[in-house]
Amino acid sequence: MTTEPVLPRIRPEIAALPPYKQGKPAGASGFKLSSNENPFPPLDGVVEAVQAATSLNRYPDATAGRLRSALGERYGVATDEVLVGAGSVSLLAAFIQAAASTGDEVVYAWRSFEAYPGLVLVAGATSVQVPNRADGGHDLDAMAAAITERTRCVLVCSPNNPTGPIVTSAEFEAFVQQVPADVLILLDEAYAEFVDDENAVDGLGERVYEAHPNVVVLRTFSKAYGLAALRVGYAIGHARVLDGARATQIPLSVTAQSETAALASLEREEEVRARVAVVVERRTRLVAGLRDAGWDVPDTQSNFVWLPTADPAVAAAFDDAGLIVRPFDDGIRISVGEEESIDRVVDVARTVSS
Ligand SMILES: *Cc1c(COP(=O)(O)O)cnc(C)c1O
């Protein structure tokens, strides 16, 4: 006879969450196009720089001072206007926790980044999801209208993961004007480096946090810089707002190796730009091929494309062809990956097209 052991009580809203399921690895002849990763090997010299940081017995610099100072120089801000975290997802968590708790609301577009609902729930706050426009972009007027006196935080994702469209500078500025000055706006620009539309909001280039101290811009080394395994991202904004987020962070979560790799990558920006240009060129071909195959693909400024479909047979067809894609209820996200994957994605898309 087996009896169920008594387990410690878990918060009911946490216990109700589905268990985590990571995407499958691609087979030997396949391609993993499910996590918007960079398809290139590490930048020259980055592995060597990490290997040279050998003091594994010592804790890292808790403030990641060298990286914050390099980023401050890069973007023309003070070191205390930069906060780093173990991936920008961890920074999203820190800012949401700093701003919102039980009874508070967090407004964001939907569909958007799959991590948002869970981060809001763990903070104890309530998600207010505002449906995207028909073209997959944020409906910023509806988002502004969704703000109540309970709203503590708004998430804006540009380009939007998983649909791809940007928010323009003009749209963002008009939106910020409508948001109360005491509500935190997190501008999530995880894919900023892949943007080539000059109308797109560029939170750092435009220094939006200067005119609007309630705006914090989030970036990451995981995508364009190809350091997803090492977990390092950064936020730029008003020092006192960053202090709030820092207080909720788990101390010492950015390792010395991650900091070193990020610093080495910042010194190789030309190489990063060259790789980004290759991805953008593949993206252009991929979107054209998919549209030619009859798919209504939204404009994308990121390193992925969105196929709007609720048909599970479509994801199964990619799977059968060795292409690991990311299916959602209402569409499939496919990362722009290796050169050989581009034609294969289009070929499969053609066979399942309506
Ligand atoms: C990938 C991604 C991030 C950052 O991921 P990290 O690896 O945690 O830096 C943040 N926001 C969006 C929308 C993303 O797609």
For residues 191 and 161, is the Cβ–Cβ distance under 8 A?
yes
The residue among 97, 333, 195, 166 whose CA lies nearest residue 187 is 166
Q: How far is the CA of 169 from the centre of ligand 1 (A)?
A: 21
Helix 339-352 × helix 269-292 angle, to 10°: 20
* CA dist., res. 241 & res. 236, Å (int): 10
Our answer on whether the CB atom of 234 is closer than 6 Å to any ligand 1 atom is no
Confidence grade of residue 275 (pLDDT, cut at 50, 70, 90)? very high
What are the structural domains of the chain?
Answer: 21-43+270-351 (3.90.1150.10), 46-266 (3.40.640.10)
152-204 pLDDT per residue, tens: 999 999 999 999 999 999 999 999 999 999 999 999 999 999 999 999 999 99
Q: How far is the CA of 304 from the centre of ligand 1 (A)?
A: 13
pLDDT at 354 over 60: no
Mean pLDDT of the chain: 96
State the pTM of this model.
0.96
Closest ligand 1 atom number to CA of residue 222: 7
Tell me, using a 6 A CB cutoff, whether residue 190 lines ligand 1.
yes
Is residue 214 within 8 Å of 244, Cβ to Cβ? Answer: no
pLDDT at 144 over 70: yes
Average of pLDDT values for 112-129?
97
**274-294: average pLDDT:** 98
| Residue 24's pLDDT band (cuts 50, 70, 90) | confident
Residue 25 has pLDDT above 80, yes or no: no
For 64, residues 6+ apart whose C-beta sits below 8 A from its C-beta are 84, 254, 259
| CA 225–ligand 1 middle distance (angstroms) | 12
Q: How far is the CA of 191 from the centre of ligand 1 (A)?
A: 8
> Quick count: other Cβ atoms within 10 Å of Cβ 116?
24
